[in-house]
Amino acid sequence: MVGPDVPQGVVAGVLEAFGTAAYLADEQGLIVAVNKRGEQLLARPASDLIDRDAHDLLHRSSGGEPVPRDQCRLSESVLGGRTRQGEDEWLERGDGTLLPVAWLATPYDVGIRPSATLVLFHPVGAPDRPRERPPTSRRLSELERLALLAETTTLLTSTLDIHEALRRLITLVVPRIADWAVIDLIGERDEVSRFAVAHAEGGTVVFRDDLQGPMPPVPQESPMPLSRALRGVASSLTGPETYQGPPDSGIAVEQQRLFEATGMHSAVMVPLRSLHDVLGALTLGRADQPDRFTAADIALLEDIARRASLALENARLYQRQRQVAETMQRHLLPRLPRSPGRSMTVRYLPASDASHVGGDWYDAFDLTDGATALAVGDVVGHDLEAAAGMAQLRNMLRAYAVSQQKPPSKIVEWLDQAILDITEVSMATLVFARMSEDTTGRWELSWTNAGHPPPLLVTREGVARYLTDGHGILLGVTPERVRPDATVELPPGATLILYTDGLIESPGRNLDEGLDRLRRHAAALARRPLEDFTDALLARARPPDNDDDVALLAVRHGTGSSS
């Protein structure tokens, strides 16, 4: 069971999955979760444990006296965020009896508190019970194995970057249970690549670039260990002697080279297998550690591989989703119209998170009366649904604007009245403008704003101001409302910037700060050629912690308009 501040699904299932008693303590040493085995051994219901100080409630000397906190190794581990284990702790049960336990405490990130510690414990037997082997054997105790699996799950599922997840996997197993780690991956077209060959050196993990790279194809009939693992057939114990004979494939040749270069005397190879495909293989090898891998190690490594495969498959699905959304977004964005004496450029930067890609858009097209229509907007929502809604909205706006020579406000009023019936867009923001030249050669901009960040106008002299007039409510809220228009003269050499909120918004920052940052940078860059101006503005003004996509349309005309 877990405390009221801890999501049931996040922690409870994890603790119950351990084959031993376990509880989770927060940074102050308070128990925030305990599994059923822990309740049984402590003879205490979860309600008597949750939100209680573990040290004060449980920790005792062998004579039953309270243990000073500064002399308790288990409390030091919990409060200090360090991994420690011991066999010298006594816990007071609910019936007043004392329970001698062996224990392991390790930091455990469940994403709910600044820090938390997982404590695993089990009763110890008679004084002459078997003790763990010396540390030089590198053989893990049962508690260490459970902690390693918990750490594997936590670290690998907390990132959706494939390379980062696999690097985390390597640092988990090297040098804890192996001197070398090798990861071979199978691509979407069945090509094999050796993603990483890494080993422990001087307390750090070093990657061998000379042993990484493309691999030969997987032979379908080869009985050799790596070939079997890459086909998802089975895990295998192996060593350099396995590959000493004539090679039966190109992969066997690479394996001979691997064993010669690394000096591994013992290795175990396990498939990285998802529910649908074989993703690759994980090889762990020992060169400096004297113990050979045994059949008893395979179960642990297969469990690690299963968890790694789940994280890898999730990361791949995420990347595919991101690529589809981004590709769809880019193909839906238009080509720009060309006009003498005027420069126009656009940028689209996808969000780092695939779930934020899809809603931002821009458009520019010529109208039948010689004016140029400009638009930038953001459909509420993310991913493919927002990208599809954006396309519907843009096409309807084009149809109204080209067929009807009306002010921007009227075009957007019609659009607002139609989107709920014709599109799947629930709400959206939009700036729609007409840029036209009168008979005296002066350029004029008329626009209406439907809940969108205001356009920014920067003169060639570096005077920058936001066009805050013509502002109305966003689309999809009150379609019957009359919308305002606004008009401004565009000075020669001035730059007009239409953008989406990803350029000015970021978590934990005031929107006014983002607007001021954009204005100041735009003013400082005013004399740069338009392409340079746009790139520098994005680099300087976009918040570093931005987690949304950005669409930007910049227009410059008249004197100094060359790009």
- Whether the pLDDT of residue 158 is over 70: the answer is no
Residue 71 makes CB contacts below 8 A (sequence gap 6+) with: none
Q: Tell me, letter by letter, the H, E, C secondary structure of 142-158.
A: HHHHHHHHHHHHHHHHC
Residue 129: pLDDT over 60: no
Burial of 324 (0-12, 13-18, 19+ CB in 10 A): middle
The yes or no reply on domain 333-557 and CATH 3.60.40.10 is yes
Most confident of 36-50, 300-314, 390-404, 458-472: 458-472
| pLDDT tens column, 328-353 | 555 555 677 877 778 999 988 876 65
Specify the pLDDT at position 328: 54
Which DSSP category does 46 fall into?
G
158 and 312 in contact (C-beta within 8 Å)? no
> What percentage of residues in the chain have a pLDDT greater than 70?
80
> Nearest 5°: CA angle at 74, between 69 and 79?
70
Crossing angle, helix 162-173 and helix 142-157, to 10 degrees? 160
> What is the structure's pLDDT at 349?
82
Band (pLDDT 50/70/90 cuts) for residue 484 is very high
pLDDT for the residue 132: 35
Say what the pLDDT of residue 348 is: 84
Q: For residue 174, report the phi and psi dihedrals to the nearest 5 degrees.
A: -115, 125
Position 147 pLDDT exceeds 90: no
pLDDT score for 538: 92
Provide the 3-class DSSP secondary structure of residue 412. Answer: helix
Query: Which residues 6+ apart lie within 8 Å of 90 measured at CB?
Result: 59, 60, 61, 62, 64, 98, 99, 100, 101
Give the DSSP per-residue string, 85-136: EEEEEEEE-TTS-EEEEEEEEEE---SSSS-EEEEEEEE---TTPPPPPPGG
Q: How far is CA 522 from CA 461, 493, 551, in A?
A: 11, 14, 16
Task: Quote the pLDDT of residue 137.
Answer: 40
Instruction: Quote the Cα angle for 380-385-386, to 5°.
Output: 30
* E strand segments, 230-336: 236-238, 266-273, 278-286
Contacts of residue 501, Cβ cutoff 8 Å, sequence gap at least 6 = 378, 429, 453, 548
**Is residue 154 within 8 Å of residue 253, measured between CB atoms?**
no
Determine the CATH number of domain 151-323.
Answer: 3.30.450.40
Whether 136 shows a pLDDT value over 50: the answer reads no
Q: What per-residue confidence (pLDDT) applies to 1?
A: 46
pLDDT score of 259 more than 90: yes
Question: With b meaning 16 or more CB within 10 Å and e meaning fewer, what string describes 376-396?
Answer: bbbbebbbbebbbbbbebbeb
Give the largest Cα separation in the chain, rounded: 103
Tens digit of pLDDT for each residue in 350-376?
Answer: 766 544 455 788 899 999 988 999 999
DSSP 289: S
H or E element that contains 555: strand 550-557
**Which residue, among 127, 123, 135, 112, has the nearest Cα to 12 in the 3D structure?**
112
Predicted local confidence at residue 562, as pLDDT: 38
Least confident of 176-190, 481-495, 537-551: 537-551
Mean predicted confidence (pLDDT) in 462-467: 96
Higher pLDDT, 203 or 462: 462
Most confident region among 58-62, 156-160, 268-272, 408-412 by mean pLDDT = 408-412
The predicted-structure confidence for 489-528, as pLDDT tens digits, reads as follows 999 999 999 999 989 988 777 889 999 999 999 999 999 9
Q: Residues of the chain with pLDDT > 90: what percent?
A: 37
Q: For the structural domain made of 8-127, what CATH number should be given?
A: 3.30.450.20
Between the ranges 117-121, 122-126, 202-206, where is the mean pLDDT highest?
A: 117-121
Q: What average pLDDT score do residues 242-252 get? A: 90
Do 8-127 and 151-323 have matching folds? yes
Token reading at 369:
């009366």
pLDDT of residue 379: 84
> 283: closest CA among 262, 266, 268, 263?
268
Cα dihedral: 148, 154, 160, 164 (round 10): -40
Separation of alpha carbons 136 and 119, rounded Å: 24
Structure token digits, residue 100: 């001698």
Identify the three-state secondary structure at position 360: strand
Exposure string over 124-149, b if 16+ CB within 10 A, otherwise e: eeeeeeeeeeeeeebbbeebbbbbbb
* pLDDT for res 536: 95
Q: What was the pLDDT predicted at 290? A: 87
- pLDDT over 90 at 111, yes or no: no
pLDDT at 128: 33
CA–CA dist 183, 170 (Å, integer): 9
Alpha carbon of residue 253 to chain centroid = 37
- CB proximity list for 314: less than 8 A, separation 6 or greater: 157, 160
Question: Is-contact 109 18, C-beta < 8 A?
Answer: no
pLDDT at 382: 57
- The Cα 251–Cα 515 span in angstroms is 57
Helix, strand, coil percentages in the chain from 3-state DSSP, rounded to 5: 35, 30, 35
Per-residue confidence at 190, pLDDT binned at 50, 70, 90? confident
- Cα separation, 472 vs 469, in Å, equals 9
Across 93-97, 248-252, 346-350, 555-559, least confident range: 555-559
For the four alpha carbons of 57, 61, 66 and 71, in that order, the dihedral sign comes to negative
Least confident of 54-63, 202-211, 239-248, 324-333: 324-333
Given a cut of 70, is residue 149 above it in pLDDT? no
Q: According to the model, what pLDDT value does residue 261 have?
A: 95
Round the average pLDDT of the chain to a whole number and report it. Answer: 82
User: How do the domains of the chain map onto residue ranges?
Assistant: 8-127, 151-323, 333-557
pLDDT of residue 322: 59
Token code pair at residue 142: 């049962």
One-letter amino acid of 337:
P
Q: What is the 3-state secondary structure (H, E, C) of 507-526?
A: CCCCHHHHHHHHHHHHHHCC
Confidence of residue 472 (pLDDT cuts 50, 70, 90): very high
325 has a pLDDT exceeding 60: no
pLDDT tens, position by position, 24-80: 888 888 998 899 989 999 999 998 899 888 988 998 887 778 888 888 888 887 777
Question: Strand 342-349 and strand 360-366: pairing?
Answer: unpaired
Each residue's pLDDT tens digit, 399-442:
999 998 899 999 999 999 888 777 767 788 999 999 998 877 78
Lowest mean pLDDT among 21-30, 89-98, 356-365, 446-455: 356-365
Tell me the mean pLDDT in the region 97-114.
74
CB 384 within 8 A of CB 328: yes
> What is this structure's pTM?
0.49
Q: How far apart are CA 341 and CA 556, in angstroms?
A: 9
> Which amino acid is residue 48, in one-letter code?
D
